[in-house]
Amino acid sequence: MKEVWLIGGMMAVTFAIRYTLFAASGQLEFPAPLARALKYVPPTVLTAIIVPSILMPHGTLDLSPQNAYLAAGVAAGAVGWWRKNLLLTILSGMAAFLLWQWLW
């Protein structure tokens, strides 16, 4: 029973967030400054997820060379910048992570 409440509640809040603006989209008219702001949404939201994941993998700041998450992030950043290929970027980051864990 607890699972039904949990999943039902998570589903309700998630769908509400995803659908509210879509549902009202016919009536919405965005002012130009807001439209300008929205182009920063993808990179800033993604960065806000990326940075704590790789710099604070266990909840506190870890800038040591033993931090395999940081090594993975550096490798993915370098390969991504160099080759502009998403799949290659993902695989390089994961390979660097596994290599780092094995090395240290």
For 9, half-sphere exposure in the C-beta direction (CA atoms, 13 angstrom radius) is 6
Q: Which long-range contacts (CB under 8 A, 24 or more apart) does 95-98 make?
A: 96/68, 96/71, 96/72, 97/68, 97/69, 97/71, 97/72
CB of 26 to other proteins, least distance (A): 6
**CB nearer to other proteins: pick between 17 and 64:** 17
**Interacting residues toward other proteins by CB under 8 A:** 2-3, 5-11, 13-15, 17-23, 25-26, 28, 30, 33-57, 61, 68-69, 72-73, 75-77, 80-81, 84, 86-87, 89-94, 97, 101
Q: What is the DSSP string of 30-52?
A: --HHHHHHHTTHHHHHHHHHHHH
Q: Which is nearer to other proteins, 11 or 103 (CB)?
A: 11
Whole-number minimum distance, CB 44 to other proteins, in Å? 3
Q: Could you tell me the smallest distance in angstroms from the CB atom of residue 47 to other proteins?
A: 4
Kindly state the smallest distance separating residue 102's Cβ from other proteins, in Å.
11
